Amino acid sequence: AAPRPAHGCGSGALLGRFGVLLQALLALCAFSTLMLKRFKEPKAERRPWRIWFYDTSKQAIGALFIHFANVFLSDLTEEDPCSLYLINFILDATLGMLLIWLGVKVVSWIVQHKKYTYLVFGEYGDPPQAAAWIGQCILYLLIMVFEKTVISLVLLIPGWTKLQQILLGYIPNPQLELVLVMFVVPFIVNAIMFWVVDSLIMRKYKQKDTLDISGSTETPRARRTEESQVLLSPDMDFDQSESDQDISGLRGTSQKMKQPSYQVVI
């Protein structure tokens, strides 16, 4: 086997104690951006915590799958695992992001065409059903498997070794390289990816609740239905009073017409 270069990470560095600590810190910081995104949503459209958990947990499962797949693939060769992980991560954030977008669009079209309501991303029923969440997690995980398979095939193209040397060849300290590869770059890129993907798979259309004068909550559809019923329903008292007046007037007119007229002749 070819000797491993003097610079860069050693074998198993990604799953060492320091590497695992960096990965845990990365997960905490990256998913905090999703919580920040929830508080940035308008109050009228802000997702309940349960819906937010259903939406973000799909990303968590997919991100964990991609992360451990990259760690596994980076240790398969005698090359620097840190630079291999970084190449995998860059491809996931560029070409992989496009594949995820296409996968979500294709799956959403198929699900809507087949009318599988609970498999539409972001729709969990009322009340939310765990079965819908499980089905959507499986679909999203299949999209991630497809994305990682395509990226792995792209890595088989020769020429990535030169890029490996260019990316991290100037860093002599393995610990610094590990921090850069496992925390700094993934945090920045994951924050952007999580924000974009969450907007992609969350529910797109929400009905805003409004408050009536009495303080009760009703949807615009219910308000419009109630108003249409009021407009279409006849005013019984008004119509009855008018009809009574009309009938009494007609009766009086008919009685006057029936009364004989007498002429007094002197």
**Helix, strand or coil for residue 234?**
coil
So what's the pLDDT on residue 147? 94
Cβ pair 143, 104 in contact under 8 A: yes
So what's the pLDDT on residue 144? 93
Q: Report, as ranges of residue numbers, the positions in the chain whose pLDDT lies below 50.
A: 1-6, 205-221, 223-224, 227-228, 230-232, 234-238, 256, 262, 264-266
Q: Could you read off the pLDDT of 154-163 as tens digits, one per residue?
A: 988 877 767 7
Task: Using alpha carbons, list the distances in angstroms from residue 195 to 48, 122, 245.
Answer: 17, 15, 69
Q: Which amino acid is at 92?
A: D
Distance CA 11, CA 80 (A): 8
Omega into 128 within 30° of 0, i.e. cis?
no
Residue 45's closest CA among 176, 200, 196, 202?
202
Termini Cα distance of the chain: 148
So what's the pLDDT on residue 185? 85
Backbone angles phi, psi at 125, to 5 degrees: 90, 175
Residue 119's closest CA among 105, 108, 104?
108
Distance CA 112, CA 119 (A): 9
So what's the pLDDT on residue 86? 87
Q: Which residue has the tokens 């997702």?
A: 47
So what's the pLDDT on residue 165? 67
